[in-house]
Amino acid sequence: MAGLSDIRNGREYEFTEIVKQRHFVYEGGVSVLSEIKNLHGFSVIIKTGNVSGSKNQYISAISDAFKILSSFGFHKGLNKKIIIYLSDHKMVKNIAFMNGENITIFLGSRIKNHMSAAKPSKKPPSVSVKGGVTAGVGRARGIADYMYDVTSRQLFKNPKESSMIKAVVIHEMGHALHEHFHPEIFWDLKRESTAQAYNSCGWINASFDVSQYATTNALEFVAETFTGMSLGEKYGKIVESAYSALGGPQ
């Protein structure tokens, strides 16, 4: 288990990474899009850089995400401010950082990217994760990609993108809540030297029942399972057992 010094060092490093990502957001100027002290029980500030498309779409999708999380009671005991940055800058990732005081989430240009159907890779997952925790949108398909795929298009609206934004926010909050409730496990899983010790809980085999992105590493398995469960997916005992053993938010 990670000790207090490990947790403190990890959170301090996260702050330096926040500064790096924030630099790209601020390149085109930034403004406070919305500050909601009680968004379904959460304190949320949404800041925006250069973003194409409807900013109201982001606000609505983000609100929907926190409404779902609130229905599970995850707002209780979370006395942290959540700061969300929106940006189309190519260097801004979909990623969450936990520095102890606040939860910082960046929603970058990849929020609008999704991949065509692909079978889960059988390649052994990598357990090395450094600097923040990304969302399941990219080379390996995640729950967010699935939500995009199954949502129907509508005239003059883009509910497919809204579904993806909602899923990405839930995914990132899964990481944040994981760190909040079980920092000793979370920071252990961030280190390649100790993450291997958790393989015995069976998360690798269980991950193939969640998503391709869940096979990446144990942290992504937790966040993807959290996202799926929050969106109504029912998993078997193998997934539930591994999720619980890794300290997944309950």
Confidence of residue 246 (pLDDT cuts 50, 70, 90): very high
164-183 pLDDT per residue, tens: 999 999 999 999 999 999 99
Confidence of residue 67 (pLDDT cuts 50, 70, 90): very high
Give the residues across from 70 on adjacent strands.
Answer: none
203-213 pLDDT per residue, tens: 999 999 999 99
Cα angle for residues 144, 145, 149 (degrees, 5° grid): 120
212 touches 139 (CB < 8 A): no
The pLDDT of 90-106, averaged and rounded, is: 91
Domain ranges of the chain: 4-245
Could you tell me whether strands 102-107 and 81-86 are parallel, antiparallel, or unpaired per DSSP bridges? parallel
pTM: 0.87
Report which secondary-structure segment, H or E, holds 35.
Answer: strand 31-39
For residue 19, the number of C-alpha atoms closer than 13 Å in the C-beta half-sphere is 6
Give the residues across from 105 on adjacent strands.
Answer: 84, 96
Is the per-residue pLDDT at 185 higher than 60?
yes
